[in-house]
């Protein structure tokens, strides 16, 4: 099938559709369902004014919210603040959320949102105004039974608190379940902040076990030192691995003998950068991907591993913390080179899994201990990993294809059962 030129048609959207098309052809997906799944069910684009701290200055910014599929329950997906946010990126990310939720057996369809800004160029007060105005603009689309945002690139617990407060002000009562990834004090879940990184490392441990690699002493490289990458690096170190390099948007640091991740975290919190951390060599964000290691975790942005650099990667396991870090050409090269790829919709699904726990806890107003959250998360991630590995081995395919097959099949079956209205 060739896609008509549509509003969301960008390279990232085409990657998401190409992955769907490959899977659909392999599983013999019903053509009607296939066609529907290639496009979002709802997409909203807004532009709105933001007053800068310099009172007379007002910027116009763009915001997006896309719901890919409403068949499975409410929709779920993060909100991203980044200069590259557009309708195509938001749509691609919403599609990956659909497969991820289905793969993990969560009662959600996929969604995603974002605001096209560089958050580092706005003050905290300005970010609060942007968040509250963006929430007002998309307020009819979201809600605990409709669509539940969460943090993503450039947003965090504080952003979620502002969204929850703005939404609750409009409704006239507190609605904690409208977002997940909130601070604990207003209905957040213990363990949510670390959930994505913990899920990534659960998959890495399973992959090591499968390949006969000892996690103790394994060399780990992490691109991105935020909510996902920072936690993955810390947990890797706690598991006895040697974290040899990490990076953030400004570049990275490398020490073949292993970095002290906790010391690095304190240093990063104080200096707002990683480069120049004493006793390390600087590496660029391109170089870090090609360092010799056992485990490479891209945990920053999409489109980092391409046909151009995939041949030079020196890892044995590639665990995708970020969404869409690997393009199709790279996938082929990595498969040929025998690199074990744990795909994003599996590797980073820990975040949405604990978001689901948070949503359940908010609905019941009954909160779990951190140990309960972590134990359930780890067992769900291990089960998902083994299920996907089982499909991959049975079908003689890679983990991405196997994970996509499971996700798309579940969605297709739900669509078939519900039928077409009217």
Closest to 37 in 3D by CA, of 404, 422, 297: 404
Q: How far is the CB of 196 from ligand NAD (least distance, A)?
A: 4
Structural contact between residues 211 and 243, judged by C-beta atoms closer than 8 angstroms: no
First-to-last alpha carbon distance for the chain, in angstroms, is 26
Residue with structure tokens 């991959």? 392
The residue (of 239 and 249) whose beta carbon lies closer to ligand NAD is: 249
H/E element, 293: none
Distance in angstroms (rounded) separating the CA atoms of residues 253 and 103: 35
Minimum Å gap between C-beta 257 and ligand NAD is 23
Task: Determine contact, residues 105/99, Cβ cutoff 8 Å.
Answer: no
CA distance 217 to 232: 15
- Smaller CB separation from ligand NAD, 213 or 295: 295
Instruction: Identify the CA nearest to 315 among candidates 231, 399, 401, 208.
Output: 208
User: Considering beta carbons, is residue 74 or 230 the nearer one to ligand NAD?
Assistant: 230
Taking the C-alpha atoms of residue 150 and residue 166, their distance in angstroms, rounded to an integer, is 15
- Please identify, using beta-carbon distances, which residue of 228 and 405 lies nearer to ligand NAD: 228
CB 113 → ligand NAD: shortest distance, Å? Answer: 12
Give me Rg for the CA atoms of the chain.
Answer: 21
| Nearer Cβ to ligand NAD (24/200) | 200
Using the structure block, give the residue that is written with the tokens 């996700």: 407
Residue with tokens 């200069």: 83
Distance CA 38, CA 3 (A): 9
Catalytic residue among 76, 112, 182, 415: 112
| Residue with the CB atom nearest ligand NAD in the bound state | 226
Find the shortest distance in angstroms from Cβ 396 to ligand NAD: 28
Annotation says 125 is catalytic = no
Provide the binding-site residues for ligand NAD, judged by CB under 6 A: 151-154, 196, 224-229, 248-249, 285, 299-301, 321-323, 348, 351
| Cβ at position 412, least distance to ligand NAD in Å | 24
Active site members: 112
């Amino acid at each position: 099938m060739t896609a008509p030129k549509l509003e969301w048609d960008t390279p990232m959207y085409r990657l998401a559709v190409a992955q769907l098309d490959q899977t659909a052809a392999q599983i013999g997906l019903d053509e009607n369902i296939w066609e529907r799944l290639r496009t979002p069910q709802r997409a909203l684009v807004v532009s709105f004014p933001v007053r800068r701290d310099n009172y007379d200055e007002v910027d116009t910014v763009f915001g997006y919210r896309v719901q890919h599929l409403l068949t499975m329950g409410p929709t779920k997906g993060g909100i991203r603040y980044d200069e590259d946010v557009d309708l195509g990126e938001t749509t691609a990310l919403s599609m990956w959320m659909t497969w991820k939720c289905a793969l993990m057996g969560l009662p959600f369809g996929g969604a995603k949102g974002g605001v096209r800004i560089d958050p580092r160029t706005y003050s905290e007060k300005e970010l609060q105004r942007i968040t509250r105005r963006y929430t007002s603009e998309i307020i009819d689309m979201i809600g605990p039974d409709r669509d539940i945002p969460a943090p993503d690139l450039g947003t965090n617990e504080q952003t979620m608190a502002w969204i929850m407060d703005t939404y609750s002000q409009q409704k006239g009562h507190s609605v904690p379940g409208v977002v997940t990834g909130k601070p604990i004090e207003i209905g957040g879940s213990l363990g949510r902040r670390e959930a994505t990184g913990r899920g990534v490392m659960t998959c890495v441990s399973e992959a090591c076990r499968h390949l006969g690699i000892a996690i103790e002493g394994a060399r780990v490289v992490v691109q991105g030192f935020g909510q996902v990458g920072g936690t993955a690096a810390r947990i890797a170190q706690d598991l006895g691995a040697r974290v040899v390099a990490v990076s953030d948007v400004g570049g990275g640091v490398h020490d073949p003998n292993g970095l002290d991740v906790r010391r690095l975290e304190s240093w990063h919190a104080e200096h707002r950068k990683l480069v120049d951390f004493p006793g390390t060599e600087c590496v660029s964000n391109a170089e870090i991907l090609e360092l010799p290691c056992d485990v490479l975790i891209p945990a920053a942005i999409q489109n980092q591993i391409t046909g151009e650099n995939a041949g030079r990667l020196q890892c044995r396991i590639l665990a995708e913390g970020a969404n869409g870090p690997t393009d199709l050409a790279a996938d082929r090269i990595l498969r040929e080179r025998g690199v074990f790829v744990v795909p994003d919709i599996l590797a980073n699904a820990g975040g949405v899994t604990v978001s689901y726990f948070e949503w359940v806890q908010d609905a019941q107003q009954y909160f779990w201990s951190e140990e309960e959250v972590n134990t359930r998360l780890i067992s769900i991630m291990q089960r998902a990993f083994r299920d996907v590995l089982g499909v991959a081995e049975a079908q003689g395919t890679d983990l991405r294809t196997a994970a996509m097959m499971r996700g798309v099949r579940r969605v297709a079956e739900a669509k078939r059962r519900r039928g077409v209205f009217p």
